[in-house]
Chains A and B, each alone.
Chain A
């Protein structure tokens, strides 16, 4: 059992009468990419926030490396190696790459009460890390606003890894990106996993998830429809399950009806 880096067992979360999550179970090994798929309102955000320590689950347990764990705060989750990259990335576009990379966790030097932000060291590390991803950083003091969407995403992921993430939780990392940018991000995600991280990739885009995922968990209205290994499920089956196949069927019927009336 403890070969799983992280385990979610029967997690439930309620907000008053609303059941946001019910009996969700997920297991992840090192080097594994699990895609969490679901339509809007499926409970993805709630699940992310539970992973990140923002919410405490009302039922169920979280195991990290086999040990039962309760996150009291986002910082707790961070300290346990859960690195969450939110959709807004927590990057400030007016600030430099370096200042963003170390935002909130700046390296310091000097004597007590006169400690200064060690910007040389920070610049060096930031440039080095961006170089590793293969991003052309002309100058680590350039503003993040000058970077492309994919580069920003990679910067945010790289930052989470640098600060000790063992489990990467990525919230819709490709949703705002074009094909080229998205593939750049996904490539980096695969690379990170191959270096021994576990990745939870949250998305509603099956086309982005399918090529990189090892397993897929589908959420619908707060409940898990199950976790499927890649070899056990096709892209189309996933898509159908996610959108609620009936709804698409209904749409097809309606469209036909409209066409008939128009003609």
Chain B
């Protein structure tokens, strides 16, 4: 390019940048997919701050409670969001949670495997299930909705049948004693920042038990995983080449293929991602409860998708954010725990969730139209 053209081009660009600054700092923020979820989360906190501000919901213990619920959901919601951005669904997340649970518990309890080997085994199975989901969707071209719905039944049924066959029951208890000194289990079962809570307790800043130890003992592992997953997913989506491929695969499969994006590989890896996230969820819960249950994770796939949608993901793919899904999960967790602190009958919880989802979808649809059609 000639010097003259260069200077014209750069002048144009810088001139336009200035104009952009003036008109649309706010517009830029309004155009982000996570805006709805962020606003929703703030509203929810204000609501519960007013209604339940003096009930202990916002004590250290109460906060860790709803953060733990949010974080667990968030781990799978973020993976579901990434898959949705890539243009597919995974309805087998909930069943995968149950399946992963018994993949840990049965080898550890009945076959005498060390706990860490069982955990690795569960993750290996997750990779297999995710790969199978992905390759089925990519190869057959069938809607992932149908393929993973089939997997939902297959996995849940297999979980139940295998567990009953081997153990004669539907629950496998007795895991807690195995956690100590295990080289891997601590990653899913240790509260962190205990010193902080002990210190806060000693300063009488947070509630104590009768024996003097703080009621809230530390940050639960779910929250750490949740934060790590949010950061990692956001980094991938915004900052890597693979992230661009995810958006491209979901936005326009054919177009992406034509310019050389390995759409099939991207989708398969995202299916592996949801199955692995489900296994992280399962490992944390199984080690926390000390037992695996064949019904664990039931309906979680829908909650994960709902959180992703509230977080700004489009059902048609190609648009959304991990941070949005994280806020979506936070809204869910906060409401589901917060409602216990209010006078509202908890029977109304799902009504509230459904209404919230509807509002979120309408709002997000509006945002998307702004982004793609405003000139």
Cα A127 to Cα B243 in complex, Å, equals: 21
Q: A127-B13, A128-B9, A132-B5 are in contact. Are A92 and B240 (CB under 8 A)?
A: no
Cα A139 to Cα B14 in complex, Å, equals: 10
Residues from 335 to 375 in B contacting A, C-beta threshold 8 Å: 368, 371-375
How far is the CB of A85 from the nearest CB of chain B, in Å?
9
Which residue from B239, B245, B258 sits with its C-beta under 8 Å from A74? B258
Which residue from B20, B245, B258 sits with its C-beta under 8 Å from A138? B20
Q: A88-B254, A95-B318 are in contact. Are A138 and B260 (CB under 8 A)?
A: no
**Residues 2-32 of chain B, each 1 if its beta carbon lies under 8 Å from chain A, else 0:** 0001101110110011011000000000000
Q: List 8 A-B contacts (CB under 8 A).
A: A93-B372, A94-B318, A105-B260, A117-B243, A128-B10, A139-B16, A145-B372, A146-B373
Cβ contact within 8 Å between A103 and B12: no
Q: A102-B244, A127-B13, A131-B8 are in contact. Are A90 and B256 (CB under 8 A)?
A: yes
Cβ contact within 8 Å between A104 and B16: no
Q: Does B191 contact A (CB under 8 A)?
A: no
Cβ contact within 8 Å between B372 and A143: yes
Cα A208 to Cα B219 in complex, Å, equals: 67
Nearest 6 CB-CB pairs, A to B? A145-B372, A92-B251, A131-B9, A90-B255, A104-B260, A104-B259
In the complex, number of A-B residue pairs with CB atoms less than 8 Å apart:
111
**Residues 89-112 of chain A, each 1 if its beta carbon lies under 8 Å from chain B, else 0:** 111111100010011111010000
Which residue from B10, B243, B245, B254 sits with its C-beta under 8 Å from A104? B245
Cβ contact within 8 Å between B255 and A94: no
Cβ contact within 8 Å between A137 and B16: yes
Q: B129: which A residues are within 8 A, CB to CB?
A: none
**Which residues of A are interface residues toward B (Cβ below 8 A)?**
74-75, 78, 84, 86, 88-95, 99, 102-106, 108, 115-117, 119, 127-128, 131-132, 136-139, 143, 145-146, 148
Q: A88-B252, A90-B258, A131-B9 are in contact. Are A106 and B372 (CB under 8 A)?
A: no
Q: A90-B252, A93-B251, A94-B372 are in contact. Are A119 and B239 (CB under 8 A)?
A: yes
Q: Which residue of A lies closest to B9 (CB)?
A: A131
Cα A74 to Cα B254 in complex, Å, equals: 13
In this complex, how many residues of chain B approach chain A with their Cβ under 8 Å: the count is 38
**Residues 240-273 of chain B, each 1 if its beta carbon lies under 8 Å from chain A, else 0:** 1101110110011011101111000000000000
Q: Which residue of B lies closest to A138 (CB)?
A: B16
Cα A78 to Cα B371 in complex, Å, equals: 32
**Which residues of B are interface residues toward A (Cβ below 8 A)?**
1, 5-6, 8-10, 12-13, 16-17, 19-20, 239-241, 243-245, 247-248, 251-252, 254-256, 258-261, 314, 318-319, 368, 371-375
Which residue from B10, B245, B255 sits with its C-beta under 8 Å from A91? B255
Q: A88: which B residues are within 8 A, CB to CB?
A: 252, 254-255, 258
Q: Which residue of A lies closest to B249 (CB)?
A: A92
Cα A5 to Cα B156 in complex, Å, equals: 61
Q: B372: which A residues are within 8 A, CB to CB?
A: 93-94, 143, 145-146
Q: A115: which B residues are within 8 A, CB to CB?
A: 240-241
Known: A86-B258, A92-B251. 19 other contacts (CB 8 A): A91-B255, A94-B251, A94-B318, A94-B368, A95-B244, A103-B255, A105-B259, A105-B260, A131-B5, A131-B8, A131-B9, A131-B10, A137-B12, A137-B16, A145-B372, A146-B371, A146-B372, A146-B374, A148-B375
How far is the CB of A121 from the nearest CB of chain B, in Å?
13
Cα A108 to Cα B135 in complex, Å, equals: 28
Which residue from B5, B247, B374 sits with its C-beta under 8 Å from A99? B247
Cα A240 to Cα B256 in complex, Å, equals: 38
Q: A108: which B residues are within 8 A, CB to CB?
A: 241
Cα A90 to Cα B260 in complex, Å, equals: 10
Cβ contact within 8 Å between A92 and B247: yes
Cβ contact within 8 Å between A116 and B240: yes
Q: B374: which A residues are within 8 A, CB to CB?
A: 146
Q: B12: which A residues are within 8 A, CB to CB?
A: 131, 136-137
